[in-house]
A = this chain, B = another copy of it.
Amino acid sequence: MRPVYFIAGGMTKFAKANQHKDFRAMVKEAFDYAMADVPNLTLDMIDGSVASYFSDHFTRQLKAASMVQDYLGLCPKPSRRHEGGGATGGLCFQTAWESVASGRMDICVAFGFETMSRVNTWKGNEFIALASDTNFDYPVGGFYTGYYAMMVRRHMHEFGTTVEQMAMVSVKNHGNALHNPWAQFPMKLTVEDVRNSEMVADPLTRLDICVMSDGAAVCILCSEDALEKYDLCDRPVKVTGIGCGTDTMRLADRPRHGVILLPHESPDDYRHLEYPGVHSFRAGRMAAKQAYEMAGITNPLEELDFVELHDAYTSSEIQTYEDLGLCKYGEGGRFIEEGHSTLTGKVPVNPSGGLLACGHPVGATGLMQAVMALWQLQGTIGKHCGGDATLQIPDARRGLIHSHAGTGTYVTCTILERGF
Contact = CB atoms under 8 A, between A and B. Distances in A.
A36 interface: no
A246 to B, nearest CB: 5
B66 A246 contact: yes
Nearest to A258: B76
Nearest to A70: B248
A-B pairs, 8 with minimum CB distance? A78-B244, A62-B131, A101-B102, A102-B102, A76-B286, A80-B91, A98-B98, A98-B102
B76 A247 contact: yes
A66 B102 CA distance: 25
A63 interface: yes
Nearest to A408: B76
A128 B62 CA distance: 8
Determine which residue in A48, A65, A98, A285 has the highest number of CB atoms from chain B within 10 A of its CB, and name it. A98
Nearest to A75: B246
A62 B102 contact: no
A302 to B, nearest CB: 26
A118 B247 CA distance: 25
Interface in A53-91: 54-57, 60-63, 65-67, 69-70, 74-85, 87, 91
A99 B283 CA distance: 19
Contact of A79 (B60, B97, B244): B244
Contact of A409 (B57, B66, B87): B66
A81 B79 contact: no
A223 to B, nearest CB: 12
Contact of A246 (B78, B98, B101, B283): B78
A143 interface: no
A405 B79 CA distance: 12
A361 to B, nearest CB: 16
Given A80-B91, A242-B104, A409 B282 contact: no
A262 to B, nearest CB: 13
Interface in A84-136: 84-85, 87, 91, 94-95, 97-99, 101-104, 127-128, 130-131, 133-134
A247 B133 CA distance: 35
A72 to B, nearest CB: 10
A167 to B, nearest CB: 30
B102 A67 contact: no
Contacts of A286: 76-78
A376 interface: no
A319 interface: no
